Structure 1
C-alpha cells in the first residue's frame, strides 16, 4: 500500500466564468483527469463513474502559473466496484471534496465485470484505511 495519489493540475484562464471563479464543471474535469491518470492501462481494463457526490467548500480562482493538486484515495474495493475520495485544495485550504463509486466495466459486453487479481492489486496501491 502506498497511500493517496497526488496528481498536479493547472488551471487555464478560460476555466473562469462570468463570476470570476473557476466554473464548477471545470473542477470536475480536473478530478476526472486525476482518476484517468490512475486508471489501469492494461488492454480491456476499464472503469466508469457510477456515482459522484461533491461538496464545494470554497471558490477556486485562476492564477497564472499556479499549480494545484488533486489528492485521490481508494476507500473501498468491492467485487466490481471501487470507492474513491478526491480533494482539490487552493491556498492550503480544501476547495472541494468528492466521494465516488467507480465500476470495473467490460465495454464489449456493456456490463460491469468482477475485478481480476491484477486489477485489484493495481487499485489497492491507493487504498487507505
Structure 2
C-alpha cells in the first residue's frame, strides 16, 4: 500500500437511523468529509509557507468536483458516543483532468473496513467552465499518495 492519509470523523446524532446505526447516505457524508480533509490538509514535505494539502498547487478558481462514487458496505456502522470513524485515503489514478481517491472506513482502530469507496474527482476551472488539465506539480503531489484501487466484490 502506498502512503495513506488517515483522519478521524465524528459521527453525529442525526446520522443515526431508527435501527441505531449510521445510515448508508451518512456514511458517504463521512467519507466525503474525509476526502475534503485529504485534499486540503494531507501532509506534503517542502510546501511553501501557508500551503497545505494535495491541491495547494491549483490556481484560484479551480476546484474539485465529484464525478462519480462507488461504495460497498462490509459491516454495520453502529454509533458509539465519542468514538470517531477512522478513514484511510489514498489516490489510485491520476488522469489528464481527473483523479480517483480510494478510502477504507473503519468503526474502530484495527477493525476490518466497514465500507470501501472510490471517488472520481474532476478539477474544474470555473472561469473557463471546463476541466482543468492537471499540472505536473499537482500531478506529482497526487502521486505521492498513489496506490492500488480498492477491491470491490464481483
The 5 Å alignment of 1:1-129 reads 3-39=3-39, 40-41=55-56, 42=58, 43-91=60-108, 92-129=111-148
Q: After the TM superposition, which of the residue ranges 39-48 and 118-127 deviates more from structure 2?
A: 39-48
CA distance in 2, matches of 1:106, 1:122: 19
Any stretches of 5+ residues in structure 1 without a counterpart?
none
Q: Tell me the alpha carbon deviations over residues 35-89 of structure 1, each in whole angstroms, 9 at most, x when there is no partner.
A: 1112224533311111111101111011111022111110111111102211101
The normalised TM-score by structure 1 is 0.89
The two structures have a TM-score, normalised by structure 2, of 0.76
Q: Tell me the distance in 1 between the aligned counterparts of 2:62 and 2:141.
A: 11
The answer (yes or no) to whether the contact 2:35–2:101 under 8 Å persists in 1 is no
Paired position in structure 1 for 2:43: none
Structure-2 separation of matches of 1:52 and 1:28: 9
CA RMSD of aligned residues (A): 1.6
Size of the alignment, in residue pairs? 128
- How far apart, CA to CA, are the structure 1 residues paired with 2:22 and 2:12? 9
Give the Cα–Cα distance (whole angstroms) in 2 for the partners of residues 64 and 5 of structure 1: 24
* Over 3 Å off, 4+ runs: none
- Residue 45 of structure 2 corresponds to none
Rounded to whole Å, the distance in 1 between the matches of 2:18 and 2:33 is 24
